[in-house]
Amino acid sequence: MPRLPLNAPLPAEPRLLRACQQLLDSPSQAISIEEMADWASMSRRTFTRQFLSHTGMTFVAWRQQICLLEALSQLANGVPVTEVALGLGFSSPSAFTTSFRKVLGESPARYLRKSIGTALF
């Protein structure tokens, strides 16, 4: 498979790690910063600042990366794009495709066709 431009580092800080693990257990674009801050027992402002400091990225960018990594796994297992998109909390399949294309440079279908073709040779 080609190298992915996806990166979702886990923070070492225990409260942030606990919150991240909850999102990893059930990835969704619908999980808000407020929910994550609650899970980490922090204020929104502290969470936002600490998250950036410990991961090097914003929570919104990190959440998107986690959701796209999960999407790739599901798509590779034959789950339809619509089901993946809605299951991961995207507002629509087109919103998912837009996000996917922005990060990976191609639509999910084209990316998978290319990846599967590359993996066969």
C-alpha to C-alpha distance for 59 and 93, rounded to whole angstroms: 22
Top pLDDT among 82 and 3 is at 82
- At which residue do the structure tokens 């959440």 appear? 63
Residue 90 lies in a domain: yes
Residue 8 lies in a domain: no
Residue 95 lies in a domain: yes
Residue 53 lies in a domain: yes
Residue 4 lies in a domain: no
For the record, the structure tokens of 19 come out as: 């919150």
Residue 41 lies in a domain: yes
Residue 101 structural domain: 14-120
Nearest of 93, 73, 79, 97 to residue 24 by alpha carbon? 73
What is the total count of domains within the chain? 1
Residue 69 lies in a domain: yes
CATH number at residue 103: 1.10.10.60
pLDDT band at 1 (very low <50, low <70, confident <90, very high): very low
* Measured distance between the N- and C-terminal CA atoms of the chain, rounded to whole angstroms: 10
pLDDT value of residue 90: 95
pLDDT value of residue 41: 97
How large is the average pLDDT for residues 15-32?
96
Q: Are 68 and 104 a contacting pair, CB within 8 Å?
A: yes
pLDDT, tens digit (0-9, with 9 covering 90-100), for 83-99: 999 999 999 999 999 99
pLDDT value of residue 7: 82
Q: What is the pTM of this model?
A: 0.86
Residue 107 lies in a domain: yes
